[in-house]
Amino acid sequence: MSTPFYVSPQQAMADRAEYARKGIARGRSLVVLQYADGIVFVGENPSRALHKFSEIYDRIGFAAAGKYNEYENLRIGGVRYADLRGYTYDRDDVTARGLANVYAQTLGTIFSSAGEKPYEVELVVAEVGESAEGDQIYRLPHDGSIVDEHGSVAVGGNAEQISNYLDQRHQDGMTLSEALKLAVQALSRDTNGSEREIPAERLEVAVLDRTRPQQRKFKRIAGRQLSRLLTAEGAAEVSKAASDAVSDEDSSEE
Amino acid sequence: MEANPRSTGRLPAAFLTPGSSSFMDFLSEHQPEMLPGNRQLPPTQGVIEAPHGTTIVSVTFPGGVVLAGDRRATMGNVIAQRDIEKVFPADEYSAVGIAGTAGLAVEMVKLFQLELEHFEKVEGAQLSLEGKANRLSTMIRSNLGMAMQGLAVVPLFAGYDVDREKGRIFSYDVTGGRSEEHGFAATGSGSVFARGAMKKLYRADLTEEQATTLVVQALYDAADDDSATGGPDMARRIFPIVTVISEDGFRRLTDDESSEIARSILERRLEQPDGPRAALL
């Protein structure tokens, strides 16, 4: 019987973290920003079928960077968790904090169990409140830690550079159009500092809009509505775009 | 999951297992005791006394469908509740109205709403209207044991079919048998009288306003002849629940709107107690 090589626990963990980080860095980055009426999710995604953002519950949205099959599994687990909890207790008893804790435990257990390969994913769980002060954004890295974020957050390959860019420019109370344009500027900066153009068709955008009359606040923004928001200039057009966004609500429902 | 004290707080394996997009399928694997159909009733003598909901009516019109219900729940000869709500949105484009054992029916609707929402979130697309109607059929069938002990639930399902661009109505029997109704339908104890009224008043070219008036007329006639159906209660300001589902989605008429309809019908009935007369030939 051969004796296994000794690997120090520090080294083993460092290797696993390195493995997970490399996997996440291969994926494109995405950003989550607070704006006046809620929270907006923006990412570059050439696929229209494999979503990076989705609805978990009434006020809770989900964003993920990394390996699709792994975060899709976590997303469905989250939907099942939220729906079961809401069915057992009440719809108000489903919170982003509870969900983030469950995700953190799941990722943490998988990360530190030698029998399982660490997940190559980084998640964002966001909940829109009645007002901007009530908004919650949690970032969940691959190792099961939770980071409580405010204002803006970026995950994925180029996350550090993008979040620096966003931290300097993001303000409270931005309109949806302003926040969206800032997000696209941040995403279009490459690692080497050069900029490239991201066409609207390659963007995936979703919002948690607290002004939505329906109980479920999550909504995807695509097509004409998205290009209108991206081109809107000046206060008058921005407010027009916002009112269009409200009237377009049902027609662009997914 | 909260019930397990040794749990690490991690999502149990069942949550992360890829599989069905149905919440009921997930429940039946993970927590089967939570499914209404899996409950065992102890053997009982006679009928169990529980509040029963009564009459639900529905009418299609070009562009959508109207679903309405009275507000009374009865328990034997007693009025158990005067202001019960028996018509619920199932999702953006459909609604369900329930007759039968109120407690079980409300639970069934809650699970049905969740089933549709869960599918939509997992798959990223809505079920077809037929698919929704079939799902409800399965749920009624799973209640058959209860139904045989006198606790039946018989809903009426109405929705706007986005693909065919029209309103459609589905009716059910206690065994889960499903049939599509054309024009109008009714269920519950007052349904016989309501259907008679609708048969005489229905036309294929109704407007939305006419359709909402028609359903309140039918409920009025049902309340006139069936003691378990409640008519508009002017003194307490309790009016039938009237909902409209069209291309724009689900909408419930406000209390003001439905009281306005009820009031105008009541005024005409003071002169003509039996309601509008149809032509003899």
> In b/e form, how buried is each residue of A155-183, taking b as 16+ CB within 10 angstroms?
bbbbbebbbebbeeebeeebbbbbbbbbb
Has residue B249 got a pLDDT over 60? yes
pLDDT of residue A245: 47
Residues of A in contact with B122 (CB under 8 A): 76, 79
pLDDT of residue A34: 96
pLDDT of residue A247: 45
Q: What average pLDDT does the segment B236-243 reach? A: 96
Element (H, E) at A240: helix A234-247
Q: How many Å apart are CA B51 and CA B73, to the nearest integer? A: 6
Has residue B227 got a pLDDT over 90? yes
Residues of B in contact with A125 (CB under 8 A): none
Nearest CB partner across the interface for B248, out of A74, A76, A250:
A250
Residues of B in contact with A106 (CB under 8 A): 10-11, 16
Residue A253 — very low, low, confident or very high, per pLDDT cuts 50/70/90? very low
Q: What average pLDDT does the segment B242-257 reach? A: 95
pLDDT of residue B2: 47
pLDDT of residue A196: 83
C-beta separation of B141 from B175 below 8 A = yes
- Contacts (Cβ under 8 Å, ≥6 apart) of B126: B91, B92, B93, B116, B119, B120, B162
Cβ-in-10-Å burial (0-12, 13-18, 19+) of B78 comes to: exposed
pLDDT of residue A129: 95
User: Quick one: closest CA in A to B15, which residue?
Assistant: A77
pLDDT of residue A3: 72
Domains of chain A, residue spans: 28-252
Q: How many Å apart are CA A95 and CA A100, to the nearest integer? A: 9
Nearest CA-CA partner of B232 in B244, B216, B243: B216
Please tell me the distance in Å from B277's CA to the nearest CA on chain A: 41
SS3 labels along A170-191: CCCCCCHHHHHHHHHHHHCECC
Residues of B in contact with A117 (CB under 8 A): none
pLDDT of residue A251: 42
Please tell me the distance in Å from A250's CA to the nearest CA on chain B: 7
Q: How many Å apart are CA A194 and CA B91, to the nearest integer? A: 47
B254 CB neighbour count, 10 Å cutoff: 10
C-beta separation of B114 from A90 below 8 A = no
For testing the chain A interface, which of B6, B10, B110 should be mutated: the one with the most A CBs within 10 Å? B10
CATH number for region A28-252: 3.60.20.10
pLDDT of residue A113: 86
pLDDT of residue A250: 44
Q: What average pLDDT does the segment B197-212 reach? A: 96
Residue B7 — very low, low, confident or very high, per pLDDT cuts 50/70/90? low
Has residue A243 got a pLDDT over 60? no
User: Quick one: closest CA in B to A54, which residue?
Assistant: B121
Q: How many Å apart are CA B156 and CA B173, to the nearest integer? A: 10
Per-residue pLDDT of B114-153, as tens digits, reads 999 999 999 989 999 999 999 999 999 999 888 888 889 9
Nearest CA-CA partner of A180 in A159, A161, A207, A160: A207
For testing the chain B interface, which of A48, A83, A217 should be mutated: the one with the most B CBs within 10 Å? A83
- The values of phi and psi at residue B226, to 5°, are -115, 120
pLDDT of residue A143: 92
Is B252 an 8 Å CB contact of chain A? no
Q: What average pLDDT does the segment B168-190 reach? A: 95
Please tell me the distance in Å from A68's CA to the nearest CA on chain B: 13
Q: How many Å apart are CA B62 and CA B273, to the nearest integer? A: 30
E strand residue ranges, chain A: 30-35, 38-44, 53-57, 60-66, 121-127, 136-140, 147-149, 152-155, 203-209, 218-221
Has residue A246 got a pLDDT over 90? no
Please tell me the distance in Å from A170's CA to the nearest CA on chain B: 30
Q: What average pLDDT does the segment B51-69 reach? A: 95
- Higher pLDDT, residue B7 or B176: B176
Is A77 an 8 Å CB contact of chain B? yes
Contact B125 A254 (CB under 8 A): yes
pLDDT of residue B109: 96
Q: How many Å apart are CA B158 and CA B94, to the nearest integer? A: 6
Residue B259 — very low, low, confident or very high, per pLDDT cuts 50/70/90? very high
Contact B114 A74 (CB under 8 A): no
pLDDT of residue A233: 66
Identify the bridge partners of residue B238 per DSSP, sorted by sequence position.
B233
Highest mean pLDDT among A110-114, A218-222, B14-18: A218-222
A201 CB neighbour count, 10 Å cutoff: 11
Is B254 an 8 Å CB contact of chain A? no
**Residue B213: active-site member:** no
User: Quick one: closest CA in B to A91, which residue?
Assistant: B114
Contact A88 B16 (CB under 8 A): no
Q: What average pLDDT does the segment B74-78 reach? A: 92
User: Quick one: closest CA in A to B17, which residue?
Assistant: A73
pLDDT of residue A232: 78
- Higher pLDDT, residue A181 or B7: A181
Q: What average pLDDT does the segment B176-192 reach? A: 95
Out of B54, B60, B74, B187, the active site residue is B54
Has residue B269 got a pLDDT over 60? yes
pLDDT of residue B146: 87
For testing the chain A interface, which of B4, B8, B11 should be mutated: the one with the most A CBs within 10 Å? B11
Has residue A1 got a pLDDT over 50? yes
Q: How far is CA B135 from CA A76, B32, B121, B281, in A?
A: 21, 18, 17, 43
Please tell me the distance in Å from A168's CA to the nearest CA on chain B: 35
Nearest CB partner across the interface for B92, out of A76, A88, A253:
A253
Share of chain A above pLDDT 70, in %: 89
Nearest CA-CA partner of B25 in B126, B124, B114: B114
Nearest CA-CA partner of B171 in B192, B186, B190, B160: B186
In Å, how far from its chain's centre is CA A245?
A: 21
pLDDT of residue B13: 87
Has residue B243 got a pLDDT over 60? yes
Is A86 an 8 Å CB contact of chain B? yes
Nearest CB partner across the interface for A77, out of B15, B31, B92:
B15
Per-residue pLDDT of A161-212, as tens digits, reads 999 999 999 999 999 999 999 999 999 987 776 788 888 889 999 999 999 9
Please tell me the distance in Å from A106's CA to the nearest CA on chain B: 4
What is the pLDDT of chain A when averaged over all its residues?
Answer: 88
Nearest CB partner across the interface for B9, out of A80, A86, A105:
A105
Q: Which of residues 61-100 of B touch A (CB under 8 A)?
A: 92
Contact A101 B9 (CB under 8 A): yes
Nearest CB partner across the interface for B9, out of A56, A102, A216:
A102
DSSP of B23-81:
HHHHHHHH-GGGSGGGPPPPP-SSPPP--EE--EEEEEETTEEEEEE---EEETTEEEE
**Chain position carrying tokens 């509505």:** A225
Q: Is the confidence metric ipTM above 0.95 for this complex?
A: no
